[in-house]
Amino acid sequence: RPARFTLDPAFTVGTVDPRLFGSFVEHLGRCVYTGIYEPGHPTADEAGLRGDVLDLVRELGATTLRYPGGNFVSGYKWEDSVGPADERPRRLDLAWRSTETNRFGLSEYIAFLKKVGPQAEPMMAVNLGTRGVAEALELQEYANHRAGTELSERRIAHGDKEPFGIRLWCLGNEMDGPWQTGHKTAEEYGRLAAETARAMRQMDPGVELVACGSSSRAMETFAAWEATVLAETYDLVDYVSLHAYYEEIDGDRDSFLASAVDMETFIEAVVATCDHVGARLKSTKKINLSFDEWNVWYQRRFAAESAAAPLDWPEAPRLLEDSYSVTDAVVFGSLMIALLRHADRVTVACLAQLVNVIAPIMTEPGGPAWRQTTFFPFAQAAQYGRGQVLDVRIDSPTYGTKAYGEVPLLHATAVRGDDGSVTVFAVNRSQHDALPLEVALHGLELGAVVEHSALSDEDPEARNTLDEPERVAPHTVAATSLRNGVLSAVLEPLSWNVIRLA
Ligand code: AHR
């Protein structure tokens, strides 16, 4: 039987915040060095930014770009990363057991955002691992204060006359994780986050602040951590963070394809926890969610590789360079759908990461840049997923999974643009069977299918590589129709679909 749902503009979830299409630049592996920054590369500009990567970042449509970590930030000394580049210190990066040259720093990051274009917005993390309130304030003053103080004048002397205007700040990173340098208990972190937030607001009440939530739903402290941290910070922060990575485990592809079930459960549990704290505080304020790390990541493979790696502190080593298959892209698209389905509360999200490190964009030093399979769902969602998310109640055949029980074969959402056009984003989780889809359209003035684009392949393992960078790309599905207020489509097995109606 077909999968079905109804669209009606009277029933909406919320407006998509452009920040939902953020990504992440960490000083990790080759994300920065030989990723976005490679002086001497044939396409590099005078600042050493790779032009081929800039083009792909613009095409990807990424908006908010989180920086400089990640685990890296918990040992970060911001003052190492400013001033004349050849005078900056080399430092040990404990998080990734690498040597950080600081050749690329804060000013270069802001210059990179400007080059990406007006849609790019900074999202800066402060170090609450090895540092605290004072250093966060110093960074904020250096970055944002116009002039007339030692730190703002230092920025000006370094060549940045205009303040950076960073509004969105992360209060540390994954402070619940024992792997984090300077890891803390929820009580310790909640107090530090609250005092840092209070002080940052004293400097500028307009900053937007993200408190660290859990590193994943699987953390033992999950939910209790959020409740404790928010009890301290509720009136001082705007967001709580969520991080989640998914991978296929022991060949269980059916469960992997249903990863978004976990993501949606995670989001709903964090919303409930935020609202519970708000209720206890008798507050009318709502805390929103910053899903500032999400992706498919073969973490087990990384753990095995890093256990075997030599301990010799390399510069910009090849780390976390996952190559993504069509299957990975379908799961990735489904995660994107999960975020859109919760656009009322998830108002910031960052695909971790942007280049080379579990990334949609890959590069070769001195060589080309190319799009991974996951590039396409992100770029299409960032382009067409703007407007109001419509409430999609799915009626679908199901399939059995070990991890999540019975799961609908269809995962979908729909977004209505300001011009009245509607885009349906849909995933067929079936590995072997096509899935007919019928969508009843109520109260929508839609006359035609503009395009049905699908990402699927006879070979679910197909991927784009240095040798074959254009092996995988979306294709058009011709037979999709819109008649008498019903959209009819057939979703290919294991496919990501974008159906545009106008
Ligand atoms: O994105 C890779 C790493 O994953 C980040 O540095 C960290 O925050 C998370 O554990």
| Predicted confidence (pLDDT) per residue in 85-111, tens digit | 999 999 999 999 999 999 999 999 999
Cβ-based neighbours of 24, under 8 Å, separated by 6 or more = 65, 66, 67, 70, 292, 293, 350, 351, 352, 353, 354
Peptide bond between residue 353 and the one before it cis (omega within 30 degrees of 0) = yes
Torsion sign over Cα 191, 195, 196, 200: positive
Question: How many A from CA of 173 to the centre of ligand 1?
Answer: 8
- The mean pLDDT value for 28-33 works out to 97
138 has pLDDT over 80: yes
What is the best residue among 98, 181, 293 to mutate for testing ligand 1's pocket, by most ligand atoms within 8 Å of CB? 293
Which atom of ligand 1 lies nearest, measured to the CA of 96?
Answer: 6
Which atom of ligand 1 lies nearest, measured to the CA of 174?
Answer: 8
Q: What is the pLDDT of residue 476?
A: 98
Which atom of ligand 1 lies nearest, measured to the CA of 95?
Answer: 6
Q: What is the pLDDT of residue 362?
A: 98
Which of 100, 121, 141, 293 is labelled catalytic? 293
Assign domain 3-9+391-501 one CATH number from 1.10.150.530, 2.130.10.10, 3.10.580.10, 2.60.40.1180: 2.60.40.1180
> Does 135 participate in catalysis according to the annotation?
no
| Predicted confidence (pLDDT) per residue in 251-264, tens digit | 999 999 999 999 99
Q: What is the pLDDT of residue 309?
A: 74
17 has pLDDT over 90: yes
Q: What is the pLDDT of residue 482?
A: 97
| Predicted confidence (pLDDT) per residue in 411-465, tens digit | 999 999 999 999 999 999 999 999 999 999 999 999 999 999 999 999 999 999 9
ipTM for the predicted complex comes to 0.99
Question: Closest Cα to residue 338, out of 266, 276, 269, 399?
Answer: 266
481 has pLDDT over 80: yes
> Does 293 participate in catalysis according to the annotation?
yes
Pocket of ligand 1 (CB under 6 A): 26, 28, 69-71, 173-174, 215, 293, 352-353
Q: What is the pLDDT of residue 241?
A: 98
Distance CA 401, CA 404 (A): 6
Q: Which amino acid residue places its CA nearest to atom 2 of ligand 1? A: 70
The side-by-side arrangement of strands in the sheet containing 435-441 is 3-7, 435-441, 486-491, 481-483
CATH superfamily label, 17-384: Glycosidases (3.20.20.80)
| Predicted confidence (pLDDT) per residue in 364-399, tens digit | 999 999 999 999 999 999 999 999 999 999 999 999
| Predicted confidence (pLDDT) per residue in 211-239, tens digit | 999 999 999 999 999 999 999 999 999 99
**CATH 2.60.40.1180 domain extents, the chain:** 3-9+391-501
Tracing tokens 């989780």 back to the chain, one arrives at 429
**CATH 3.20.20.80 domain extents, the chain:** 17-384
Element (H, E) at 501: strand 495-501
283 and 233 Cβ atoms separated by less than 8 Å: no
| Predicted confidence (pLDDT) per residue in 300-320, tens digit | 888 888 777 777 899 999 999
Q: Report the SS3 class of residue 37.
A: strand
Q: For 186, how many CA atoms within 13 A lie in the half-sphere containing its CB?
A: 18
Question: How many A from CA of 409 to the centre of ligand 1?
Answer: 30
Which of 26, 121, 174, 492 is labelled catalytic? 174
Give me the chain's average pLDDT, please. Answer: 97
Task: Return the beta strands (E) in 344-404 as ranges.
Answer: 346-351, 361-363, 369-371, 388-390, 398-401
